[in-house]
Amino acid sequence: MVVGDFPIEVDTLVVGAGPGGYVAAIRAAQTGQKVTIADKGAIGGVCLNVGCIPSKALIQAGHRYEEAHGASEMGIESENVSIDFSKVQSWKESVVEKLTSGVEGLLKGNKVDIVSGEVFFVDDHTARIMDEKSSQTYTFKDCIIATGSTPIEIPTFKYSKRIIDSTGALNLSEIPEKMIVIGGGYIGTELGTSYANFGTEVTILEGMDEILGGFEKDMSALVKKRLKKNNVNIVTNAMAKSSEETEDGVKVTYEANGKEETIEADYVLVTVGRKPNTEEIGLEQVGVEVDDKGLIKIDKQCRTNVSNIYAIGDIVAGPPLAHKASYEGKIAAEAIAGEKSEIDYHGIPAVVFSDPELASVGYTEAQAKEDGYDVTSSKFPFAANGRALSLGSGDGFVRLVTRKDDGLVLGAQIAGANASDMISELGLAIETGMTAEDLALTIHAHPTLGEITMEAAEVAMGTPIHIVK
């Protein structure tokens, strides 16, 4: 191994080039800092390469394939619909390539130095970046750690050819006849839905009493109803106990309702959560505090207990969301530049690209009441919206949580078509301190799904037009 003779000096070293790291690096460079970003993997991290982007591409392909079979209620019939899954995978990879090359161009365009290799901290101002051939020492004034997370492996379900994580599910060369998904969270539900749309017989084993436990029950119930309609078998309160691989598949034993059952499939997809990548990077050399889950403790500017070292994304507390990591990356970079930026998670949305889509931002009604607010919960159904009916997407609703005395928007939940896009307006409402009246007075184009937000605001005001009060 070749070792660099002299350390390279930078203002800010960013460790990890995912949606948190690369955004932090660009923002730091924009504030005049000399920045180096290092990652042992590909630019874009998990999100762009084996997470958010490829999964949404595969989900979209599944929707297209399902739609290609026609819609008899609209008078559309089709026959002999076929799929070339190798082309689906090639198209998915082309989407990833465009985005990752674009991010690399943005880093270079902002004069960020990109280094490939593993980072190990020597002290609070020094790190070594190593690959198979060389090692180079870097000294830095400040550092932003954004090393992300990896899937949790169950001891009795070790990853193999037939037992796969989300990355493996995204890179299958064939459409399985049968798939078992262990874990009914957002990743398991999204990928399970995608393969079900391709025709796979999917079984979801969820340890809790509902899938998508982070969302309210009337939201997850809509997804559950659609999954069952798509012949997805959902087993709740299920504990996966053991697996046995065969020549062409895998057998899973699980316990549910006091009974032990066995099921076979081509593949088992394990999606039971992710763990932070905070081991083996030398944090103990620096004295950065980590909790019992491996998460780094930070303040409101993403600063750790070591004043010149910051941490963002999946390695700090909060949901493992790409847009959360990007948001924190900007905060950390601006804090290093001396700006007064601070994190405020209240306006961060959570989205599941299920069928129908689910999205939430701010408080739920229960959360608002727990924090002492006197609130009104107001719901308007997709079924009363012309655009939703013309799309054949009448299932769902928009719900606003508003403060009772003045109508201030505290939270919102959407279940329905395009919820992932619609939630942004409600995030903006929370961020800017808008009231239900502000939303109701905003003229929304007709016919659009966006009108449902306006209608929900009118329900909150007690003056709905398109449903009976």
Cα angle 16-37-148, degrees, rounded to a multiple of 5: 5
- Gyration radius (Cα) of the chain, Å: 24
Q: For residues 449 and 457, give the distance between their C-alpha atoms in angstroms, rounded to a whole number.
A: 14
> Has residue 399 been placed in a domain?
yes
Q: Is the full-model pTM beyond 0.85?
A: yes
Q: Is residue 243 part of a domain?
A: yes
Given 345, 368, 383, which residue is the final one in a domain? 345
**Looking at 272, 303, 330, which one is the last position of a domain?**
272
Which residue, among 200, 183, 176, has the nearest Cα to 249 in the 3D structure? 176
Does residue 156 lie in a domain region? Answer: no
The verdict on residue 372 lying in a domain is yes
Residues 93 and 209 in one domain: no
Please list the active-site residues: 446
For residues 262 and 251, the answer to whether their CB atoms sit within 8 Å is yes
Residues 392 and 411 in one domain: yes
Strands 233-235 vs 201-205: parallel, antiparallel or unpaired: parallel
Q: What is the pLDDT of residue 73?
A: 86
Per-residue pLDDT, 4? 53
76 and 173: one domain?
no
If asked whether residues 251 and 185 sit together in one domain, one would say yes
- Residues in the chain, pLDDT under 50: 1-2
Domain boundary among 221, 242, 272: 272
pLDDT tens for each residue of 405-417 = 999 999 999 999 9
Would you say residue 467 lies in a domain? no
Over residues 195-216, the pLDDT tens digits come to 999 999 999 999 999 999 999 9
For residues 26 and 118, membership in a common domain is answered with yes
Query: Is the residue at 350 inside a domain?
Result: no
One domain for residues 376 and 410: yes
Are 111 and 193 contained in the same domain? no
Domain count, the chain: 3
b/e for 361-370, b at 16 or more Cβ within 10 A? bbbbbeebee
- Can you say which residues are annotated as belonging to the binding site for FAD? 56, 147-149, 314
Domain containing residue 388: CATH number: 3.30.390.30
Same domain, 235 and 300: no
Q: 7 and 140: one domain?
A: yes
Distances (CA, A) of 191 to 23, 33, 417: 27, 40, 18
- CB neighbourhood size of 61 (10 A): 20
- Same domain for 10 and 98, yes or no, is yes
Annotated binding residues for NAD(+): 183-190, 206, 273
Whether omega for the bond prior to residue 155 falls within 30 degrees of 0, making it cis, is no
Q: What is the span of the domain harbouring residue 170?
A: 163-272
What pLDDT is stored for residue 223 in this prediction?
98
363 and 438 housed in the same domain: yes
Cα(417)–Cα(385) distance, rounded to whole angstroms? 12
State CA 193 to chain mean position distance. 16
Collect all residues with Cβ–Cβ distance below 8 Å to 265 and sequence separation of at least 6.
176, 178, 179, 180, 201, 203, 249, 250, 252
Distance CA 259, CA 278 (A): 39
Residue 243 belongs to a domain with what CATH number? 3.50.50.60
Is position 469 within any domain? Answer: no
Residues 366 and 432 grouped into a single domain: yes
SS (H, E, C) the chain: CEECCCCEEEEEEEECCCCCHHHHHHHHHHCCCCEEEEECCCCCHHHHHHCHHHHHHHHHHHHHHHHHCEEHHHCEECCCCCCCHHHHHHHHHHHHHHHHHHHHHHHHHCCCEEEECEEEEEECCEEEEECCCEEEEEEEEEEEECCCEEECCECCECCCCCEECHHHHHCCCCCCCEEEEECCCHHHHHHHHHHHHCCCEEEEECCCCCCCCCCCHHHHHHHHHHHHHCCCEEECCEEEEEEEECCCCEEEEEEECCEEEEEEECEEEECCCEEECCCCCCHHHHCCCECCCCCECCCCCCECCCCCEEECHHHCCCCCCHHHHHHHHHHHHHHHCCCCCCCCHHHCCEEECCCCCEEEEECCHHHHHHCCCCEEEEEEEHHHCHHHHHCCCCCCEEEEEEECCCCEEEEEEEECCCHHHHHHHHHHHHHCCCEHHHHHHCCCCCCCCCHHHHHHHHHHHCCCCCCCC
Asked whether residue 466 is domain-assigned, the answer is no
